[in-house]
Structures are given as C-alpha cells and as structure tokens.
Chain A
Amino acid sequence: MNLELLESFGQNYPEEADGTLDCISMALTCTFNRWGTLLAVGCNDGRIVIWDFLTRGIAKIISAHIHPVCSLCWSRDGHKLVSASTDNIVSQWDVLSGDCDQRFRFPSPILKVQYHPRDQNKVLVCPMKSAPVMLTLSDSKHVVLPVDDDSDLNVVASFDRRGEYIYTGNAKGKILVLKTDSQDLVASFRVTTGTSNTTAIKSIEFARKGSCFLINTADRIIRVYDGREILTCGRDGEPEPMQKLQDLVNRTPWKKCCFSGDGEYIVAGSARQHALYIWEKSIGNLVKILHGTRGELLLDVAWHPVRPIIASISSGVVSIWAQNQVENWSAFAPDFKELDENVEYEERESEFDIEDEDKSEPEQTGADAAEDEEVDVTSVDPIAAFCSSDEELEDSKALLYLPIAPEVEDPEENPYGPPPDAVPTSLMDEGASSEKKRQSSADGSQPPKKKPKTTNIELQGVPNDEVHPLLGVKGDGKSKKKQAGRPKGAKAGGAISELL
C-alpha cells in the first residue's frame, strides 16, 4: 500500500456510515487480521464468518461451535484463529482449511482470548471468576497467572503490544504487570476514582503502535497511560494517566474501546445507545460522535489496522464507518493545485503569446543526469505500516487473503461451441494438481477430517454455574434482558446448565 501517495484530505478517522456487512447469522464479535484485509465475525449460531474487506464479500464460513462465539483473535501470520464460545470451549482454527487444530474445555465461560502478539503458540484466556490462564498450544499445558487479591476473581487481562508483559486488572481497580515468561510481578498500581474509591476494571486495550494503552473502568472514565511510565513506577506505583476521557454530559458507560491503527485516536462504543465517540489521544478532545440506528445496542467495536475505518456490531449486523470520499482534484493533472478559496489570478506578460519570448532556456543537464541512475525494478520495499519497529521484514508466509471461488450459477449456454473439425484438445497437465489445494471446495473428495485434540482445563476454586454475560444473568434459564445477539429461545442457557 503506497501510503505516501494516499494523502488523506479529511481527518484520520471515519466520519460517516459506509454500509453494512450482512450475513444470515447474527454477529456478536469481530476482529480484523493484522493487515485489515480480512474481518472475522463470530456469530450467535456458533459460526465464524470471514469477510474479505476489499470486496466486502464473504470469503469463508467456519462452522466452529454449537454455541455463540463470544471472542476471537487472529494469529500474527493470519493463518490461525482462536475462538471462544459461550459453552466454555476455546478452539484454534486453521483459516485456509477450516479445520480445528485443538480444543480446550474450561470450567467457566470465557470473556476473552488473545494470541501472544509475537508467539502464536501462547494464548491468553480470561475465564469468568478465575485468574487469567496462559495456554501453550504445542503441549496443551496451561499456567494460571498470579492475582493480587484471591477473594476477587473478576479479572481481565491483556498482552502488551509486543507480548513482553501481561497486564491484569481486577474489580478493585488493581492493575498488575507481569513478565510473560516468568509471571514475575514487575509493576502495579491501583486506579482510584473520586477520592480514593476503587473502581472495577472492565477491559485493558493496547494500541498497535507505540506504548500506550487504555483502561475502561466502571466509573465510566477511560484512562490512557503510557506503558513505559508504568514500568518506571514499578510496584505500587502511582502513575498519572495521560488522558482521562469521558462523556460528562450523559455519563455514558462504555461497552468497548480501542485505538486507531496509528494509536492517535481512541474510539469508544456506548453501552447505552448505538453511538461511537472518537477522541484524539494526544489532546484528549472529542473529535466526532458517530450515531447508528436508534434503539440498537452496541456489542463490539474494531478499528481497521491501517485505514480510517471502524467496524461496529449492533443488532447482529456489522456496520462499517469510513471517511467521506473526497475526490482529490489535484491528482487529475500534474499541474493542478487545489485552492481553499478564490485567488485573484495575475497574468504573466507572455501568457497569451503564441511563442513564449520570455521563457528561459529549458534546463537540460538535470534530466540527463537522472537518466543515468541505476534503477531497481525488482526488489520490493516492506510497507512501513505493516512492520513493527523491532522487526525488519514482512512475513512472506503470512496469509493476507483467502482464495476465492467464483460462484457459478448455471453453466453458460454456448451457442458458439467448438466447431466439429476442431483440433482435439489434450487434457491439461496434472501440473494443475498442485493447484488443487488452492482451489476452493466442491472439488472431489476431501480427506477425512482428523479429530481435534480436546484438553480439559481444570481450575481450582472456579464456580461451575456461571453463565456468560452474553446469554443473560446467572441462574436464569431464560434471559430477562433483551440483548442483541441473544440466541433464539432458551436452548443455549438450558444446554449450559446441563453441561455443568
């Protein structure tokens, strides 16, 4: 992507609605892959729908779970997805084949799954009423992360941008920073509100670039910190947030917050109505409020990794928010320049002369010198936006796109068929057979799917009658609240109480 050429004439955030992605299933959660080329959407019928963002069409559907998919994460190379469903199962999927690689059964519902940003062998899982767990996929082992106060197990966690540290937060506002490899505590602080009242941590989100992260707390304030300052403050430190973002007028509680791809903007989805608030991180001012359909509730918000595009989920539908398409008129001719206001034009003396007597001799030497430069037409430059500061090259084996099969409705009627005396055509070389695995399905028999390995994760002291928040209140067979994306009827709730 030639981002230098893409001079954005608007701001770097979306300004209006730009359509929806509609599929049969009701969407619950969505996440972009690392490049923003594919959007994975978890649905309430257990399916994962992968959208090709370039064409806004469905690239693949994985029938992943029986129960609603509540959390998704792409691996760094784009080949794998890890998903969690409301029946406490975490699975890893191979995106190209749609096969399940491994499954883990937890005793309580899963709030979040996240791949280690640099090591897709490790997955962070946040089960309800439990300390966060780090899974190692290769040997199916798990490590329970230390928590601050054993009596409070409403803990959320997140890897930092590079996966060096894990940040955890509990219902008493205490944030712990643990080293990923050793789980040693390297820093901690407590978020207080008002005059030393504590507030529960609802989520921790890191930006894709830079060291900033935000904490969404129950007191409806979004606090933005710099990760480096947290580490400097050490244990029981008292770091000051860079920004405190809130909606003072309506005291809006926030459902989901995230950073823009470059980390300069923060979007927060309201938990009360279908509205997205966008702030500029460095200044802390509110720059935009995007309003969706009235009466709908937001379930998830995701910002595209590179472009000023946001995807939000409400009422089972994914809405896309993008910039106003402004035509860049100065691009249409090499010497066009856009003006903001009218300018009085002053003619030159020689403006309308047929032969320009005032024109100076054209510079010859400059052009010739340029023509002798060596030109390199083959080596490809890595795209800066996709590279991290600690990595040199883009991953050449990464999966950015899924192979597309054109939908064939009827075989074409061909009145201009081969003439009777045509040269008989020989069969195509089975050099094509190597391409077979790239072609989509409906291509003859497939090898029998191998059964994925299922591991039961035992966690001490975790209650086994918890119900995922998406499905309703604990102890309820039927949910009283009308939440978007709730599965039809009470089947899911009933099934869970059977399993447990």
Chain B
Amino acid sequence: MATEHPPAEGAQSALSSATQREEKPQKPNYAVKLTLTGHSAAISSVKFSPNGEWLASSAADTLIIIWGAYDGKCKKTLYGHNLEISDVAWSSDSSRLVSASDDKTLKLWDVRSGKCLKTLKGHRDFVFCCNFNPPSNLIVSGSFDESVKIWEVKTGKCLKTLSAHSDPISAVHFNCNGSLIVSGSYDGLCRIWDAASGQCLKTLADDGNPPVSFVKFSPNGKYILTATLDSTLKLWDYSRGRCLKTYTGHKNEKYCIFASFSVTGGKWVVSGSEDNMVYIWNLQTKEIVQKLQGHTDVVISATCHPTENMIASAALENDKTIKLWTSDC
C-alpha cells in the first residue's frame, strides 16, 4: 500500500530553494512523496534497480517485496527463505536479485517470474551482505562465518572463499569495473581484494579499530565510504590509505546502517541513523544539509535512485515502512 503525502509534510523544511537557486545547489529539499507498507517485520535493506524502475526491499519477515519506484505499488513478493533476510542486491540489467539470509544461504531470483533460480549454499553461519559484479556473472557474499565467498551466477558454484576477517562481515561491494572487492567487518578492518585471484591487496584500519558496519566504493571506484559503530562515516582514498572526509552528527552505535552517494543532483552522502532520521551531508564540505524526519524507528537503510533525485529509506520493527523522498536538487 502506498499513501500519498502533500509535498511539505513530514520533512524538516530547508531554506526556500527559490532564493538559493544559484549555479550550485546548496542544500536539497527532500520531502516525503510516498510511504510504502507491506512488510510485517523489521526491514533490513532497500535497493533501487539500476534501470530506476523498481525498489526491492528485504525484511525479517523472510520476504522480498518489489515495488514500483515511481508509484510505490507493490509489484511482486518473493517467497522462499525460511529465516530473516539481511540484504538484497540487483543485477546490472535489473532482471535478477540476490538475497542473503540467516538460513545460511543466498538465493538468486528472476524478477519477472518471481521464481528462485538458484540457492547458493556453503556459508556456515548467517549470510549478511551480498552484491553482484557489474557484468553480473559473479556474486560476492559476506557472512557471520568471517568469510567472503565469490559465486558464479551461471552454475551457482562457489568459486572462491576468502578468509577475509576475524569477525562477522558487515558489507561487501564490487567496484565499477568488477576488478576489486571491498569487505568491511566488525574486526574494524576494511580489506580490498582482487576479484579475479582472491588476493588481498590492501587493508585499511582506523585508530581504535571501531567495528566497520558498512563499506562501499564510490561510483568511480576511486574512493571507499566506510561507516563505523562510533557514529562516523569516512571517505577514504584507498590507494594511499588516507581518510579524506569525515561525516558525523548522526547516531550509529548498534546497527549496520546502509549509506549511499547521491550524485544525481548535488553531491551528497546519505545515511540512516538510530535517532529515526535520514541524514544528508554535503560531500565536499561535510556539513549536514538536511535531516529527514518521519520514521518511528531506527532508519536501517537509505539508498539513492540512479537517475532521479529520490531517496528510499526503511526502518526497523516499530515502523516497518519504506519512505520515498524527492527533492529538486
């Protein structure tokens, strides 16, 4: 079900964008467009499809729901996992999904038919995170069994197992040409792997080793965004091992909250927070440009549409809704 909201409601109003309209937009003015209900338990992840048509959401109710990105209608529900699902990811042609679940498996789904094409078995504990590579012939997964596995989509076989970390792995991501994998873990380290050989190329560690709750490459693959459980987001130049930017002000000490780059309009960094809001920072100046209110529980996932200025956010069990926010910049 989707409920329509009049534009101004529910969003902390930014400065009037008309007066701010110079060459570079200074602040976005995201406001709730739709609220999507349908899950019956805490939502774990929301992702837009690469073609921008759909939004996939996974939840603790063992379901994956595919929604229309523009109308918010529930298009399909995928059944199959028998325990909570922690992550879901799209293939590059938006035709397939992979999901990671506490039942120690990943499932590969065909979106049009809603059928499960393959079940990837091999992990020995909860599978927490998953992603396709850009050619979408490989899937990478990270698990509580402290390993990263690379799977072949065609046969469902595990091609490589990387003994990546010494604690549960919270996030895995391919770079834009599929040659590198980054993994983040509760042991406080981010590691970069060569996708073809499985060799570890680099390790990034911060002082104090706070658990890494999320990690992803920037759209051009040159930088890594990490989130740590000391309420900090950092942008790293991994080839030099230097932290370039730090984003703070939100609350993140317990959950693995997804963060995202917003590059369709102004360049922002978007993240959920444990104070029930979505935070948006200016990528270069690091200041908070907007805080989106409306959820009634921890915002666990925030993601940006590939072409429109649209953010989807999802919250845990007191809320169970997904909100779609749109902005002029």
Contact = CB atoms under 8 A, between A and B. Distances in A.
Interface of A: 1-2, 4-6, 37, 52, 54-55, 57, 59, 307, 325, 327-328, 331-334, 367, 370-371, 373-381, 383, 400-401, 403-408, 411-412, 414, 416-418, 422-423, 425-426, 428-429, 431-432, 435, 438-439
A65 to B, nearest CB: 26
B62 A328 contact: no
A254 to B, nearest CB: 30
Nearest to A415: B82
B202 interface: yes
Given A37-B135, A331-B203, A377-B222, 12 more contacts: A2-B179, A5-B202, A57-B152, A334-B203, A378-B220, A403-B93, A406-B117, A416-B62, A416-B81, A423-B74, A432-B95, A439-B95
A55 B198 CA distance: 12
Interface stretch (B239-247, B295-303, B310-318): B239-247
Contacts of B154: 55, 57, 404-407
Contacts of B200: 327-328, 331-332
B235 A425 contact: no
Q: Which 5 A-B pairs have the closest CB atoms?
A: A401-B135, A377-B218, A1-B179, A331-B200, A404-B137
B124 interface: no
Contacts of A435: 51, 93-95
10 contacts: A2-B179, A54-B138, A331-B200, A370-B242, A377-B219, A416-B79, A429-B68, A435-B94, A438-B93, A438-B95
A55 B283 contact: no
B15 interface: no
Given A2-B179, A377-B261, A412 B115 contact: yes
B116 A414 contact: yes
B190 to A, nearest CB: 10
B82 A416 contact: yes
A334 B74 contact: no
A332 B163 CA distance: 11
B53 to A, nearest CB: 5
Contacts of B175: 2
A408 B220 contact: no
Interface string B107-139: 010011011111100000000000000011110
- Which of B73, B135, B241 has its CB near the most chain A CB atoms (within 10 A)? B135
B239 to A, nearest CB: 6
Given A406-B156, A428-B76, A383 B177 contact: yes
Contacts of B95: 432, 435, 438-439
A5 B242 contact: no
Contacts of A325: 197-199
A401 B75 CA distance: 30
Given A5-B192, A438-B95, A425 B180 contact: no
Contacts of B177: 1, 383
Interface in B153-177: 153-156, 159, 175-177
Contacts of B267: 377-378
Interface of chain A, main secondary structure: loop
B25 interface: no
B75 A425 contact: yes
B21 interface: no
Contact of A377 (B73, B138, B192, B283): B283
A371 B114 CA distance: 46
B108 A406 contact: yes
Contact of B137 (A401, A425, A431): A401
B5 interface: no
Nearest to B95: A435
Contacts of A414: 79-80, 116
A190 to B, nearest CB: 44
B308 interface: no
Contacts of A52: 137
B246 A371 contact: yes
Nearest to A423: B74
A466 B156 CA distance: 48
**Best-buried of B108, B179, B191 by chain A (most CB within 10 Å):** B179
Contacts of A375: 223, 235, 244-245, 283-284
Nearest to A373: B244
A333 B203 contact: yes
Nearest to A439: B95
Contact of B76 (A54, A332, A371, A425): A425
Nearest to B136: A404
B204 A334 contact: yes
B12 interface: no
A467 to B, nearest CB: 39
Contacts of A407: 154-156
A57 B136 CA distance: 14
A432 B53 CA distance: 9
B290 to A, nearest CB: 19
A423 B205 CA distance: 47
B263 interface: yes
A416 B220 contact: no
Interface string B87-110: 000000111100000000000100
B8 interface: no
Nearest to A425: B76
Nearest to A426: B75
A14 to B, nearest CB: 13
B286 interface: yes
B201 A331 contact: yes
B14 interface: no
Nearest to B240: A370
B7 interface: no
Given A1-B177, A373-B244, A406 B203 contact: no
Contacts of B199: 325, 327-328, 331
B38 interface: yes
A37 B154 CA distance: 16
A57 B155 contact: yes
Contact of B180 (A2, A404, A406): A2
Interface in B175-231: 175-180, 189, 191-192, 194-205, 218-223
